[in-house]
A and B are shown apart, each in its own frame.
Chain A
Amino acid sequence: MNSTLPSDMRNTAAGGTAGEAGSAEEILLSVKDIRKYYPVTSSSLFPGRRKQVHAVDGVSFDIRRGETLGLVGESGCGKSTVGRQVVGIEQPTSGEILFEGKPLSGMKDREMRRIRTRLQMIFQDPYAALNPRKRVYDILADPMLYHHVAARSDIDARVGQLLDEVGLPKNAKDRYPHEFSGGQRQRITIARALSLEPQIIVCDEPVSALDNSIQAQILNLLKELQEDRGLTYLFIAHGLGAVHYVSRRVAVMYLGVIVEVADSEDVFRRPLHPYSRMLISAVPVPDPSIRDRKVLVPQGEVPSAIDIPQGCRFHDRCPFATDRCRSEVPVLSSYTDSAGKTHEVACFNVAAAAADAATASVAEGKEH
């Protein structure tokens, strides 16, 4: 399904520099120490101290133009909240998000509206994300008209191009969302996101609700679009296989913080943080010949985000935890793995964990 898109469709609103994917190491989006706390409503007659859910508790990362940053973690780790803050659905309690160097908060309404077209989102459930009473034509045309990205006379042609680009037939525009299968609906939401010529798309679990055979279609489509349009993705998912497939860099989140960031290959082959290792080794591998490998089975469950553990958030599930981990909070710092690659890891005991990993490597040396 190679895109046969007219070249004038590409990069029209991409601000000039986006010709080649990742041509420069220019930072497109910068997230600086964002936090999001939600108040917990107390059912008690005598409410005590107001409690808060620390959904995101100090997350920072940069995304370079044209790259894909994968954000992984278990449910409730705050990865979706980060994505929603990036596109402005939710405002951070504190911290800053810079898009092309300009902070999103404190932006004037008109400027914000313009920026919104650059930051788009694809959601997990494509059916819930589409208005059931609108035809696909209107779903795609309305945002373009509202944001004046296309003249009314061009809309027909643009809708046709978008449908073609995401692999839907021309006649799809006259149909309603319920007439499509899950995979096709996700193609519609992708077309809608593309309609505003965005530079960055936040993909929040875009394939989790789809069947295996359809997931590959959508993942390949996202990759092709990235190449054609020089798009930048923040790819949020708990399906690690999909994240590995599309991402160049991966950030692992645990309980509201990032515990490890590195290039995708390095995170999946040589994870350094004990939590990353557990998460990755817990993924079932579709190859029975290695099923008797030693797997690091995590203990316990993720603690509540209301009562965050002291010190390192992972210490009570971590086999390498020391007294220091129980009192002091580790911050991301650079470590080198066995292959000489750099990871940013928030852990005091990377060396101990790495020594153990050397004896029980999970993904090492396995190629398909």
Chain B
Amino acid sequence: MDVPLPTACVQAPDGTASPSDRGDGASASSKHLLEIRELAVRFRSDFGDRTVTDHISFHVDQGETLGIVGESGCGKSVTSLAIMRLLARNGRVEHGQVLFDGKDLLKMSRTSLDEVRGRDISMIFQDALASLDPVFTVGYQVTEAIRVHTEPDKQKARAIAVDMLRRVGLPDAEAAMKKYPFALSGGMRQRVMIAMALSCSPRLVIADEATTALDVTIQSQIMRMIEKIRVENNMSMILITHDIGLIAEMSDRVIVMYAGQIVEEADVFELFRNPLHPYTQLLIAATPGITDSEDRKLVAIRGSVPENYSDLTGCRFRDRCPFATEACAAPQAMREIRPGHFAKCRLAGTVTGKEGAK
């Protein structure tokens, strides 16, 4: 496991490519399954460098579903890619640790990282067609993951794959094994990807907008299926989505992200009963629901998400916030307002979305 790779293969996005897979001593105290500490990801572009996630910290416990909600461009997907060390070439982790089981994934060698990725942590992406290889059959791709990580024997791996495809709800799993991705519907492809992700019984699965492209009835089927398997295997999940309805249905604990920062964190019931950050309050007030009363008026949040937010000091929501004062231009700290309920707003706990609607 400690064999150093030829350097050509080592492509650590953080540029450090350190071959130590033991993690560092400081992290041994971590009791969480996954702990992100002060993660800062910076992207290089023609228009200058941008810090996309600004020193964010959070954790996921064993068997827990953590929901990450935010609008496009808030850094939620970048966070998940950074955890998996899948950032594009122009992005790198500038600061921070990703501790999985106490080991820093960012400092791992490529070989030991490959042991973790796919087996202990796996990922479900939004676009299944782009994530599946068009020139290999479904069966080959699902079996490959199993053979690499858990069951080298071809026939046994195949049996596991068929079983997995059946569990994710492919009607004729044996026939589906022989098909190519293009021959399947969007929902079926997503199921195949989920089968791949869950085939090695990972301890953590990251679902990044996994059902966003699907119709609600298919989303409902797939989410229920993932939840069933998750509970059976005592798996942890990070559910990344912009759909606050899905967050409410699936999560145990929720992180709300805005412009690269975590602005609120709470238990799901607490968050929806008593949102503290004005952004969270307005996001809930801006979302139409099918059970709304007839006279409900949606609250529109003025303006739009800032495109380049890395140089903003102070509260990044203040331009759009109905409560903002000059004091909001100063950097805000994440405070624990109620037990287990954190918010990054100096007014948190003193304002409610209903006032903001006026």
Contacts and interface: CB of A to CB of B under 8 A. Distances in A.
Given A285-B248, A286-B272, A366 B288 contact: no
Interface stretch (A56-64, A235-243, A351-359): A235-243
A140 B283 CA distance: 32
Contacts of B218: 74, 301
Contacts of A84: none
Contact of A301 (B187, B248, B268, B301): B187
Contacts of A278: 217
Interface in A266-308: 268-269, 278-289, 291, 295, 297-298, 300-302
B219 A282 contact: yes
Interface string B187-207: 110000000000000000000
Contacts of A217: 300-302
Given A74-B215, A286-B272, A289-B269, A211 B305 contact: yes
Contacts of A2: none
Contacts of A238: 215-216
Most chain B Cβ neighbours within 10 Å, of A184, A214, A265, A367: A214
A284 B246 contact: yes
B178 interface: no
A288 B71 contact: no
Contact of B249 (A213, A242, A291, A363): A291
Contact of A291 (B221, B248, B293): B248
A108 interface: no
B185 A301 contact: yes
A212 interface: yes
Interface in A203-241: 211-217, 219-220, 238-241
B72 interface: yes
Contacts of A322: none
Given A212-B71, A287-B272, A297-B221, A245 B288 contact: yes
Interface string B285-310: 01111111110111111101101000
Interface in B234-254: 242-249, 251
A285 B292 contact: no
Contacts of B304: 181-184, 211, 213-214
Contact of B245 (A213, A279, A285, A289): A285
B284 interface: yes
B220 interface: yes
Q: What is the interface of chain B mostly: helix, strand, loop, or mixed? A: loop
A36 to B, nearest CB: 21
Nearest to B268: A288
B185 A284 contact: no
A363 B291 contact: yes
Interface string B71-103: 110000000000000000000000000000000
Contacts of B287: 212, 215-216, 241, 286
B301 to A, nearest CB: 4
Contact of B289 (A75, A265, A368): A368
Given A211-B305, A242-B288, A74 B217 contact: yes
B171 interface: yes
A288 B215 contact: no
A10 interface: no
Nearest to B299: A216
B245 A297 contact: no
A283 B185 contact: no
A135 interface: no
A363 B293 CA distance: 11
B224 interface: yes
Most chain B Cβ neighbours within 10 Å, of A183, A212, A268, A301: A212
B168 interface: no
B292 A245 contact: yes
11 contacts: A211-B242, A213-B283, A213-B300, A213-B301, A215-B286, A286-B244, A286-B287, A287-B291, A288-B251, A288-B269, A363-B290
3 nearest A-B residue pairs (beta carbon) = A284-B245, A241-B288, A282-B220
Given A286-B247, A295-B220, A300-B171, 13 more contacts: A212-B244, A217-B301, A241-B290, A282-B220, A284-B219, A286-B287, A286-B289, A288-B248, A291-B248, A291-B249, A297-B220, A298-B220, A367-B292
